[in-house]
Structure 1
Amino acid sequence: MSQNAHKYSLTVRIFIGMIAGIIIGVLLQLVFDDSGDLRFSIFGYSFSTYNILVDGIFSTLGQIFIASLKMLVVPLVFVSLICGTSSLTEPSKLGRLGAKSIGLYIFTTAIAISLAIGLGLLVAPGANVEAATDVTYTAKEAPSLSHVIIDMFPTNPVNAMAEGKMLQIIIFAVLLGIAMAMCGEAGKRVANFFEDINTVIMRLVTIIMNLAPYGVFVLMAKLFATIGADMLGSLTTYFLLVLGVLVLHALVTYSVLLKVFTGLNPLILFEKMRDAAQFAFTTSSSSATLPVTMETARNKLGIGKSVSSFTLPLGSTINMDGTAIMQGVATVFIAQVYAVDLTLSDYLMVVLTATLASVGTAGVPGVGLIMLAMVLQQVNLPVEGIGLIIGVDRLLDMTRTAVNITGDCTVACIIAKSENELDEACFNDINAGRREEDIDLEHFDRNS
């Protein structure tokens, strides 16, 4: 097989899996009715072919794939952060990385929601939509900002890892890495141990990535077999507006920032982000996609270990540009549907609240709706209005997750460039990272 074929094999397989899953899901909706027609009986028990395929095989395999990705997140973040932090020769560098990362993430989030509100007011997606009287939505209580800050610091690191509390894991790993860097020879011996673990974990990431086309197939088949096309009727303008702002933010905002701060070609970044974006789109989870994002950043974009180990896990937790865009458009949409006139100060409050709320938004599917309830409450809009958009939010959640992880890597490139931790030759090499993504599992032992 040619080198070019090797390079694109994983990308092509994932894309084929995605398209095949969509087609199978749509066909299942056309062939079977709501009751799951084409039933059969075995030993007196009745079975629905539709339920066996969708709720049985597709759902089970899809959840196994998601669980496999999530399995890697905590050990990957913990070990890579320790390795990156313990290798820092300048203690001040960690402070610079933190300040730059948080500052850029908040800056891009503020741009995202401002753009969403501005275009929402211009397009007016809710002007001709009537609020349904039977629409309900029970909002979960959103955490306060003070609670988010307090909850960043772990009282039990082991419990934080067991529950997947990323901010607590990040802080503990950073502190442990700093302590290792200050312990001389003892710290170096422990660091070497974690470096070996990190090598094994990254190889495990590669194995999971080779199984991605099958996971993508069952996830997309399950989604499109259950989602109804009729729900897009009255929400077409809202759906297309959110989708348009997401694409605009990814292609324009990130391109401008990357070009201005680094001089790098944004098209190369988008090309190399394809695999990670496809993972993000199908999983709807920044956290589940993190192993793939980190592999892409290190092996394809040339981002140094100390930067990628710190910036990307932090970004998967606090960088929620896509979620902020949904919140901005949804706020305008719901205000228009319920004929509530929001003032300039109200919109400024939405920008501030959504930007700060992104810090407390976990990188898991659907959590944006919880934070939207918090935003709506700040400007006295009915939380029940979330029920109007919840039907199409699953598809939008997939897209905004892809935007989020693209933003993570854009910021990581900018920070790596400023810290002289970016291998520009690797970034500009379109073939970089090809060998790691195309391991032949049948000959895995021989190649390793």
Structure 2
Amino acid sequence: MEERKSLFKTYSGIIWLLCGITAGSILGLVFGKGVEVIKPLGDIFLNLLFTAIIPLIFFTIASSIASLEKSEKLGKLFVVVIGVFLGTVLVSAIIMILGVLLFPIHQDIIISKIPLESMQSASGGSQITQLLTANDFYELLSRKSMLALIIFSFLIGFASLRAGEKGEGFRTFLNSGNEVMKQLLHIIMKTAPVGLGAYFAYQVGIFGPQLFGAYAKPLGLYYAVCTFYFVVFFSLYAFMAGGKEGLKIFWGNNITPALTALGTCSSIATIPANLEATEKMKIPAHIRNIAIPLGAPLHKDGSSMSSIIKIAVIFAMFGKDFTDPSTLLMALGITVIVSVVEGGIPNGGYIGEILAITIYGFPMEQALPAAMIVGTLVDPIATLLNANGDVVSAMLITRISEGKKWLSTTLTT
């Protein structure tokens, strides 16, 4: 009896989360669009997360940099982080290309007309500037300036590191702020069963019927390939990182991040769950506090796979051959760019679609709506791979940075 109580206590958070999501999904199936009445519960939960995430990212990154003993260690870590992120993005894109080649999309896609976001034209240099920096401090406090905030946090960490003894008080403040924000996120996540339950109800009730329409085949292919990649390749990555024990700790700690990603469709909203999971997995603080916040805006296995399926759908719409080698190489290049520039918010921006349509020369007014619809319907599982991929990538980064015995060392300490 005591073992059962202990087991329930250990997994109580996950159990309540599953109960909330299951109840929400049932409500969505039964009441359809009627579930919009409970959507505010999900919005409140997500708003609490978003308001806490900006200071969380600042303190986790800045305190991690400020606590490093040698700046050279950070440079080596960056090389490993970027290498792992880029490697998994390319692998995921290649897997989706193979899926499309094995199960071609020949059917005509209905061109649905939906409202387009207002798009402002700007030069390439101007867009890069807006992506990497903000022209006023208060703009850093918006999740739309996530990369700018991350860069600023790194600079603050470096500055406090260079300040030496005079910066000791500030470094203490950063470490204290990091701990306070972690506790705040623990409190907010207590409301996750209700918040995510409401979000699942909304997604099932509103978007469920569209999954069986004209887009059924490409969506079915996408969800099938992504599920295969999630189960098989994430397991392979975990095994590469820590052997059998790595497999065990990954699948034992990624349930809450995975469900959070599915429910919120936001990589940024999943940062707290990812940080908590990687802490339980004994990934060193200086790695998890950099890899997880940096991975949310930059590392997107799911988005790379969705870019491929969108391009394949557009090619099918216009009767073009998707199997040409130059087309496939261009698609790989687009996926890498998309992984860097796409935001971490739900359906955040359509830069990837616009880039692909422009490069391949398709008419924007016809191709973009179809790409946007596919993007919206694949968002849940794409976010799952984007966000949960950060967790398993943190394991790979630790394996490369700390050596093959990192897991046995941390488990004995």
TM superposition score normalised by structure 1: 0.83
Change (3 A) 1:147 1:410: farther
Instruction: After superposition, give the CA deviation of every residue in 1:143-173 in whole Å (9 maximum; x if it has no partner).
Output: 8765554331444344212454121111111
Structure 1 or 2: more helix by fraction = 2
149-158 or 356-365, which deviates more: 149-158
Partner of 1:237: 217
Partner of 1:138: 116
Contact 1:157 1:172 in 2 (8 A): no
Partner of 1:129: 108
Structure 1 letter corresponding to 2:223: L
Change (3 A) 1:427 1:72: farther
**Structure 1 residue 406 displacement after superposition:** 1.7
**Structure 1 residue 236 displacement after superposition:** 2.1
**Structure 1 residue 124 displacement after superposition:** 1.0
**Structure 1 residue 251 displacement after superposition:** 2.4
Partner of 1:332: 312
Aligned with 2:168: secondary structure?
Answer: helix
The alignment status of 1:28 with 2:7, answered yes or no, reads: no
Partner of 1:13: 16
The alignment status of 1:171 with 2:151, answered yes or no, reads: yes
Structure 2 letter corresponding to 1:17: G
Query: Which of 71, 81, 87 lines up with 1:107 in the alignment?
Result: 87
Change (3 A) 1:194 1:405: same
Change (3 A) 1:136 1:62: closer
Change (3 A) 1:231 1:278: closer
What is the total number of aligned residue pairs between the two structures?
404
Partner of 1:45: none
**Structure 1 residue 416 displacement after superposition:** 2.1
Structure 1 letter corresponding to 2:213: G
Change (3 A) 1:149 1:227: closer
Change (3 A) 1:142 1:216: farther
Change (3 A) 1:77 1:369: same
Partner of 1:301: 281
Contact 2:258 2:387 in 1 (8 A): yes
Query: Which of 159, 176, 182 lines up with 1:202 in the alignment?
Result: 182
- Residue pairs, 1:234-383, within 5 angstroms: 234-263=214-243, 264-298=245-279, 300-342=280-322, 343-367=324-348, 369-383=350-364
Partner of 1:436: none
Partner of 1:76: 56
Aligned with 2:189: secondary structure?
Answer: helix
Partner of 1:418: 400
Query: Which of 397, 408, 433 lines up with 2:390 in the alignment?
Result: 408
| Distance of 2:97 and 2:122 partners within structure 1 | 23
**Structure 1 residue 74 displacement after superposition:** 0.7
Query: Which of 144, 162, 166 lines up with 1:182 in the alignment?
Result: 162
Contact 2:62 2:174 in 1 (8 A): yes
Contact 1:286 1:364 in 2 (8 A): yes
Partner of 1:387: 369
Aligned with 1:364: secondary structure?
Answer: coil
Q: Which runs of 5+ in 1 are unaligned?
A: 35-49, 430-448
251-260 or 301-310, which deviates more: 251-260
| Distance of 2:127 and 2:229 partners within structure 1 | 27
Q: Which runs of 5+ in 2 are unaligned?
A: none
| Distance of 2:246 and 2:121 partners within structure 1 | 39
Larger-Rg structure: 1
Change (3 A) 1:152 1:392: closer
Instruction: After superposition, give the CA deviation of every residue in 1:329-379 in whole Å (9 maximum; x if it has no partner).
Output: 121122123201243212211110221221111111113644222122211
| Distance of 1:145 and 1:117 partners within structure 2 | 28
| Distance of 1:355 and 1:90 partners within structure 2 | 31
| Distance of 2:172 and 2:109 partners within structure 1 | 62
Change (3 A) 1:66 1:20: same
Structure 2 letter corresponding to 1:388: A
Change (3 A) 1:273 1:142: farther
Structure 1 letter corresponding to 2:247: P
78-87 or 226-235, which deviates more: 226-235
RMSD value, Cα: 2.6
| Distance of 1:373 and 1:428 partners within structure 2 | 47
**Structure 1 residue 130 displacement after superposition:** 4.7
| Distance of 2:360 and 2:54 partners within structure 1 | 36
Contact 1:268 1:428 in 2 (8 A): no
| Distance of 2:174 and 2:143 partners within structure 1 | 22
Partner of 2:6: 3
| Distance of 1:381 and 1:137 partners within structure 2 | 19
Matched residues, percent identical?
A: 24
| Distance of 1:216 and 1:311 partners within structure 2 | 25
Partner of 1:227: 207
397-406 or 412-421, which deviates more: 412-421
Change (3 A) 1:427 1:320: farther
| Distance of 2:381 and 2:127 partners within structure 1 | 26
228-237 or 400-409, which deviates more: 228-237
